[in-house]
Amino acid sequence: MFQVLFFKKYTQYPLKMDKTWFDDETWKMESSTSEKENIDLNKTNSNIKLPFCEAFLLFVQREVKKVPDSNYSQIIKAIEIVVGTNPANLHEALVINLQPFLNEQTQPIVSKLMLFKKRVCRDGPNCTRLDKCIFMHPNQNDQKNTKKRKNDVFTNSYTSNFNSDNSSASNNKRFKEEEKQTEVIFNRVPEQFDFRQIREYASKFGTVKEVKSLKEDKFLIKFRHADDAKNLVLSKDIVLGDPQIKKFFNKYCRRTTEEDLIDLFDQQGDYLQKLIATGDNKDLLSKLIWITNRIKSVVIPKNAQKDNLKKNHILTIKIILIMSKIIEETTIRIIATIIMVIIKIKEKKTITLKMVIKGIIKKIHCIVPVNF
């Protein structure tokens, strides 16, 4: 995986800003995309992998049924051939090869296939979009593919002990636990809605104990009784009259640490690829730093985070410097250098203005060759 390659190879490099530091053939291969190509990442990167998982086969079967006189087995074979050739533009290749089978429905169906995600649907068995949903549902969980996917990220010692039967039983159990859940998430909430409006709306379904903000557009609602939370999630009423707001249980599907890390690594890889394709993008850089901190918080236990605080700061600054080298953002590199100098000086306990200025000038001179 690209993100694993990134961490193994580049976080251990010395923080040099010369040309030789950046001359790595693997990195060049990954970042050779020109800004002028305007690559559509949705069409070149997909979750369609060989061998096809059960969830994907069911997804294709469901879509093919909508086309009169379609042949499911021939379509699957055609998709398998196209994916096996690893074309530069998978979307375009699928459209061309599936046109004889799907006719005018080719474009919309291929677009849905490109959006396929092998992740569990947050609504679980209560999903009301089964005919359109691009996520997996409890009866579609393919344990063999789950095992293979975990093996891509974790050690063989872990996957050798992975028991698909026990995992399947635990998956069924965690979906049953939704009956006990009292917490509901509102996602994609526009900024015009505040705590009072959210509490008033949720109170229609039962007694609300607390409303918390998880992000700018994400809120957690805690009910006194599980039935109240269930009534809200299953209600067909549009949340706050805005159809873009999504609602789902908070913890009905308890994920393992390994599953969380897999998704976090997937997100991190997406951010890295988009950053390389788009070039100078401060929003993507900030998202990359945020997701990296999330990964560290999962890997490092809470009781060990304080002991590793200094190392975490330095690792974050290294990532900033490496990313800024890619996007050639001198200002960010200078700021990151100043922060690193201050962190290192703080370790010596005695700080003087002369030490700060001397350290900053020495570091910046390596980045921007200017005579001070």
Beta bridge partners of 136: 120
- Domain assignment present for 175: no
Tracing tokens 């009259």 back to the chain, one arrives at 241
Verify that 274 and 241 share a domain, yes or no.
no
Which pTM was predicted?
A: 0.32
Q: Exposed, middle or buried by CB within 10 Å (0-12, 13-18, 19+), for 232?
A: buried
- Domain assignment present for 146: no
- Domain assignment present for 196: yes
Question: Domain end: 220, 249, 278, which one?
Answer: 249
Question: Domain end: 99, 116, 133, which one?
Answer: 116
Kindly state the tokens that stand for 78.
């055609």
Verify that 227 and 313 share a domain, yes or no.
no
What are residue 69's phi and psi, to 5 degrees? 60, 30
| β-strand pairing of 218-223 with 246-249 | unpaired
Q: Which residues of 265-277 are buried (b: 16+ CB within 10 A; e: fewer)?
A: bbbbbbbbbbbbb
Tracing tokens 């396929």 back to the chain, one arrives at 116
Q: DSSP label at 301?
A: -
Per-residue pLDDT of the chain (372 residues; tens, 9 = 90+): 444 444 444 444 444 334 333 344 433 443 443 333 333 444 445 667 777 777 778 878 888 887 877 788 888 888 888 888 878 888 888 888 888 888 888 888 888 778 776 566 766 666 766 666 666 665 544 444 444 444 444 333 333 333 444 444 444 555 545 567 888 999 889 988 888 899 999 999 999 998 988 877 889 999 988 888 888 988 888 899 888 898 888 864 445 566 667 777 777 777 777 777 777 677 777 777 887 777 777 766 555 555 555 555 555 556 655 555 554 555 555 565 666 665 555 555 445 555 555 665 565 555 544 443
Question: Domain end: 116, 144, 162, which one?
Answer: 116
- The count of structural domains within the chain is 3
Q: DSSP label at 136?
A: B
CATH number of the domain residue 192 falls in: 3.30.70.330
Q: 211: domain range?
A: 182-249
- In order of 129, 232, 233, 286, the CA distances from 236 in angstroms are 12, 9, 8, 36
